[in-house]
Structure 1
Amino acid sequence: MHTKKSLRTVRSLVAVACTLACLSAEAATIKVTSRDPAGVGFNDPTPVAPVGGNMGTTLGEQRMNVYKHVAAIWGSYLESDVEITVSAGWENLACTSTSATLGSAGAWNIWLLTEPGQQDTIYPQALANKLLGFNLTDGRPENATGYRNVDIKTQFNIRLGQPGCLDGSPFYLGLDGNEGDGVDFAATLLHELGHGLGFSVLGVDNASGTRVYGYPSIWERFMVDNSTGKTWLNMNNAERKASAVNIEQLAWNGRNAINGAAVTLSSQPVVKSASPAGAVPTAPYSPSAFGPAVPRTGNLGQLATIATQAGEPGPACLPFNAANAAATKGKVPIIDRGGCNFALKVKNAQDVGAVGVVLVNNTGGSFTPGGADSSIRIPSVGITREDGATLKAAVAAAKPFGSRSQAGQVTASLAIDPSRKAGADRFGRPLLYTPNPLVPGSSVSHFDVSASPNLLMEPSINNDLTLDVNPPKDLTLPLLKDLGW
């Protein structure tokens, strides 16, 4: 399940001459206003039972209770003397039976601020208001939408969980994180409001690297590409375009986030392999979001490869035939991504006796295999396309080293690389999400999916998230503080 961002950038771009300073500020107040019509969204009168600490008695009331709960969480973490305003609504967003846009949010107004010694820089309105100490849209006439002057505009998928829209996985409206096969609305909303507060590159077309308004955003000041050593602030259009798809090479250089990463991110887990044909490089992995917890160390098993079967939309999407079952029993099959969800692939392997599964990306970069299936009892992990190719080649190369009765085999184990943090570069700087090809709305404006533990501001809402945005649980608040919060 992926949450996609479609950020509405600016209704107005206004130049404001100012000197930014650290102002004494109180905990922030976040005001949420519904724009839903009668009977819809927040006004849905459908009776519901209390769930997970949410005591609302109608569907609409429970939805608003989650908003109020999450707004209070963000308000307790942030400091601002200016009220933060949010326009909220429930809409029909894109979805299919197996995937959906959960929601989106963004800064509805952005502003150009002038600072001593810096280029004029784009800021989201909520942050600009906090830094200046007053509301930049105060007194501006409202228009017919009713949200012309708000800081953040949000919208969430009203059909989620219904037939044809991520079937059977509705938003869970409890406040305790026990979403099961549903989607935790509180975590999703906490994520989206993070974007509206500034967790996003503003005013840059990542596909071309061009600055839409001709000015950099505050986000660009902290992004450094390890291949060039440059920040986006100092790159040309072509360099920014290349950096947006420079897999696991774009890092966040803010001091607060770096310090937070040191106590939040785990040492990198890796798959180590022993082969009679020669050494096999270690492969960093991300544990799947379903199934049993993956042990940090220990034997994984003998690796195996399988063939895509006739009629399959993708590898392991159908029950295994006799050949694949024989190759898999008692072993760890290497299965490529694509064609169906990860949990189904692992369940099909489990059904014929696999003891674990290595899932391989079909595009560049790391990934966390998502999904849910309470019947899965074997561990599974996700690795990059390049590392998958290396492991499959090692399995093929080992076969001639066996005996008459058994081909040579590659044995895999789980280990920890203490020299690197999962989700950070070699300098300990948190990595940003830069898959290749580009993912519009997600690339650059999220933490990379290689992070462990999973972070709130990754492009997916993972089942192990908490509502804590501070180290040692998360890095969202430190990054926002780097921006000026």
Structure 2
Amino acid sequence: MRKINSLSLKRTLVAAAGALVCLSAQAVTSVVVAPAKATIIISSRDPVGFGFNDTTPVAPVGGNPGTTLGAQRYNVYRYVADIWEQNLQSPVDINVSAGWEALPCTANSATLGSASAFNLWHDFPGGAPGTWYPQALANKLAGVNLSADTPDDGSGYGNVDIKTQFNINLGNPDCLSGSGFYLGFDGKAGAQVNFVATLLHELGHGLGFSVLSVNTSSGLRINAEYTAYTTTGLPSIWERFMYDNTAKKTWLTMTSAERKASAINPLQLAWIGPNVAAAQGLLKAQPALAIATPAPGASGLYQYNPSPFGAAITTPSALGRLAVIADQAGSLGPACAPFNAANIAAVAGKVPVISRGGCTFAIKVKNAQDAGAIGVLLANNAAGALNPGGADATISIPSAGITMADGDKLKAAVIAARPYGSRSAPGSVTATWSVDTSRIAGADAQGRPLLYTPNPLIGGSSVSHWDVSASPNLLMEPNISSDLGIILTAPKDLTVPLLKDLGW
């Protein structure tokens, strides 16, 4: 989500007040008409020869008929916009400003892109009083383009509904090397990043899948003048559907301090909108690791999220004996370098528990595989569930993400189990792929889907996504998964039901 541009949005609010007066004067009759399918207009802001205007020749791929790189990029935008049009109704065109930029990245990580509602509105005809809405939704509810009479601020996109930008350097040696955007429509991205799924996700944010007007690091809201975050700012339409199971109240009724605490309250913030409630039955029983150990205190079920690479996990099936590794001098993080002799001996024929950090998940698992491991458990380095991302076609062993607390507990259990065996056969901890039928993946005890609230806070991701523990994977989780399709409704996905809760 973009940083606040107070000046341009303050002008937008002045226009909103004018629009309200005009509409009030003309509101003499009401006519019932059939809902109009949404129309999305894409406007490029790229210069000649760049981004959408890149004339580099390419071969058609995965149903995308473009023969230049720029044409293929635009074709994906149009393909994704068409999908969204089939899922939304609005009598007002949705205007998207699209561009390609050099976004932050390294050889092992990258910002893929971002999108957000560029303008917000409150107190317009058709909206809840004193409540912020993203412009595309506000236009739909008002039945007019609220920014139609607002002069552009000189940027070329000052009065658009949604602004998007994606990483022009993705896949270069210094920007997630070898994993550029896949521009086909068929989902066969392999080790590349599926641009269709990425863009579907980002446009979802622009349409309103975001907390919008709350600073999640402070809990403060944007004031009515859109000049500052304050304790008396206006709520977003999003907040009335966010229920914290610890505080037992919605964000709508919380103080700023309570919202700040809720944003880092893992696995406790649920969505309670009626459309999502009607569709939440698509969530499945929680995948779990059944852990057995002779030492007291660690046996039981532990939740996990499978990695998108390596062998598929079959449930139920045996995983193996767990192991721990020692830090290696010069390594960027646990398992970020080829294993030394001691760690090879520790993991051969076993399943190491490896903490997140320093390099990609795929690098960690590949190094463990090369050392003889038969599987890997990747433990988070912060509170909350872990949904590993990445790709590597050479990985053939299964792996999965677990919480930091569970990772620490299982590492301690491996050491605690050793005295329960003999010198030649120390006691061990064994794991089996299973399910916890008493829990719904990604949901609270009432089955309500959970929002993403890791601790510490992740700016731009926390609260404005589904939690990564959801199964099946959902489009609006913070990580793009390889098994996502283009269906945005139940029984496949919950994106459109949530947007309908907001008013779409």
TM-score by length of 1: 0.95
**Cα contact 2:127–2:141 (8 A) shared by 1:** no
Task: For 1:332 and 1:211, locate their aligned partners in 2 and report how far apart those are by CA, in whole Å.
Answer: 46
Task: For 2:181 and 2:145, locate their aligned partners in 1 and report how far apart those are by CA, in whole Å.
Answer: 33
Residues 142 and 313 of structure 1, relative CA distance in 2, 3 Å threshold: closer
1:151 to 161, 178, 181: 161
Matched, 1:166 2:191: no
Q: Which residue of 1 aligns with 2:473?
A: 454
Shift of 1:145: 2.2
Shift of 1:443: 0.8
Matches within 5 A, 1:465-476: 465-476=484-495
1:378 to 397, 400, 405: 397
**Cα contact 1:203–1:211 (8 A) shared by 2:** yes
Shift of 1:297: 1.5
1:400 to 387, 402, 419: 419
**CA deviations over 1:136-189 (Å, ceiling 9, x no partner):** 122333343222221111111111112211111111111111111111111111
Residues 100 and 262 of structure 1, relative CA distance in 2, 3 Å threshold: same
**Cα contact 2:352–2:377 (8 A) shared by 1:** yes
Matched, 1:92 2:102: yes
**Cα contact 1:9–1:202 (8 A) shared by 2:** no
Task: For 1:23 and 1:442, locate their aligned partners in 2 and report how far apart those are by CA, in whole Å.
Answer: 38
Task: For 1:276 and 1:385, locate their aligned partners in 2 and report how far apart those are by CA, in whole Å.
Answer: 22
Task: For 2:114 and 2:366, locate their aligned partners in 1 and report how far apart those are by CA, in whole Å.
Answer: 32
**Cα contact 1:8–1:107 (8 A) shared by 2:** no
Shift of 1:404: 3.1
Q: Which residue of 2 aligns with 1:6?
A: 2
Range with bigger deviation, 197-206 or 318-327: 318-327
Q: Which residue of 1 aligns with 2:318?
A: 299
Residues 115 and 30 of structure 1, relative CA distance in 2, 3 Å threshold: closer
Residues 115 and 424 of structure 1, relative CA distance in 2, 3 Å threshold: farther
Task: For 1:91 and 1:252, locate their aligned partners in 2 and report how far apart those are by CA, in whole Å.
Answer: 34
Matched, 1:276 2:294: yes
Shift of 1:225: 0.6
Q: Which amino acid is 2:402 matched to?
A: I
**CA deviations over 1:361-417 (Å, ceiling 9, x no partner):** 111111111111111111111100101111112212111110232111111111111
Shift of 1:355: 1.4
**CA deviations over 1:201-221 (Å, ceiling 9, x no partner):** 111111110002210000111
**Cα contact 1:7–1:106 (8 A) shared by 2:** no
Range with bigger deviation, 137-146 or 288-297: 137-146
Task: For 2:52 and 2:370, locate their aligned partners in 1 and report how far apart those are by CA, in whole Å.
Answer: 43
TM-score by length of 2: 0.91
**CA deviations over 1:310-332 (Å, ceiling 9, x no partner):** 22121112222222112211111
Range with bigger deviation, 142-151 or 123-132: 142-151
SS in 2 for 1:378: coil
Range with bigger deviation, 139-148 or 245-254: 139-148
Task: For 2:442 and 2:342, locate their aligned partners in 1 and report how far apart those are by CA, in whole Å.
Answer: 38
Shift of 1:278: 2.5
Task: For 1:255 and 1:296, locate their aligned partners in 2 and report how far apart those are by CA, in whole Å.
Answer: 33
Shift of 1:9: 6.4
**Cα contact 2:127–2:138 (8 A) shared by 1:** no
Task: For 1:69 and 1:9, locate their aligned partners in 2 and report how far apart those are by CA, in whole Å.
Answer: 30
**Cα contact 1:224–1:230 (8 A) shared by 2:** yes
1:237 to 236, 256, 272: 256
Residues 8 and 184 of structure 1, relative CA distance in 2, 3 Å threshold: farther
Residues 171 and 106 of structure 1, relative CA distance in 2, 3 Å threshold: same
Residues 246 and 56 of structure 1, relative CA distance in 2, 3 Å threshold: same
Q: Which residue of 2 aligns with 1:179?
A: 189
Range with bigger deviation, 316-325 or 46-55: 316-325
Matched, 1:31 2:49: no
**Cα contact 2:119–2:161 (8 A) shared by 1:** yes
Structure 1: segments with no counterpart, 5+ residues: none
Matched, 1:207 2:217: yes
> Could you tell me the percent identity over the aligned residues?
61
Task: For 1:228 and 1:329, locate their aligned partners in 2 and report how far apart those are by CA, in whole Å.
Answer: 46
**CA deviations over 1:270-310 (Å, ceiling 9, x no partner):** 11111112352321000011111111212111111111122
Matched, 1:134 2:144: yes
1:363 to 382, 390, 397: 382
Matched, 1:387 2:395: no
Task: For 1:91 and 1:331, locate their aligned partners in 2 and report how far apart those are by CA, in whole Å.
Answer: 44
Task: For 1:152 and 1:244, locate their aligned partners in 2 and report how far apart those are by CA, in whole Å.
Answer: 25
Task: For 1:267 and 1:349, locate their aligned partners in 2 and report how far apart those are by CA, in whole Å.
Answer: 29
Task: For 1:209 and 1:191, locate their aligned partners in 2 and report how far apart those are by CA, in whole Å.
Answer: 25
Q: Which amino acid is 2:2 matched to?
A: S
Task: For 1:338 and 1:109, locate their aligned partners in 2 and report how far apart those are by CA, in whole Å.
Answer: 36
Q: Which residue of 2 aligns with 1:342?
A: 361
Q: Which residue of 2 aligns with 1:327?
A: 346
**Cα contact 1:7–1:441 (8 A) shared by 2:** no
1:434 to 439, 443, 453: 453
Matched, 1:68 2:78: yes
CA RMSD of aligned residues (A): 2.0
Q: Which residue of 2 aligns with 1:266?
A: 284
Matches within 5 A, 1:474-485: 474-485=493-504
**Cα contact 2:451–2:464 (8 A) shared by 1:** yes
Task: For 2:354 and 2:253, locate their aligned partners in 1 and report how far apart those are by CA, in whole Å.
Answer: 41
2:66 to 40, 56, 63: 56
**Cα contact 1:114–1:121 (8 A) shared by 2:** no
Matched, 1:423 2:446: no
Task: For 1:370 and 1:406, locate their aligned partners in 2 and report how far apart those are by CA, in whole Å.
Answer: 36
SS in 2 for 1:204: coil
Q: Which amino acid is 1:207 matched to?
A: S
SS in 1 for 2:249: coil
Range with bigger deviation, 239-248 or 449-458: 449-458
Task: For 2:243 and 2:369, locate their aligned partners in 1 and report how far apart those are by CA, in whole Å.
Answer: 42
SS in 2 for 1:278: coil
Task: For 1:400 and 1:74, locate their aligned partners in 2 and report how far apart those are by CA, in whole Å.
Answer: 59
**Cα contact 2:124–2:138 (8 A) shared by 1:** no
SS in 2 for 1:364: coil
**Cα contact 1:54–1:173 (8 A) shared by 2:** yes
Shift of 1:119: 4.9
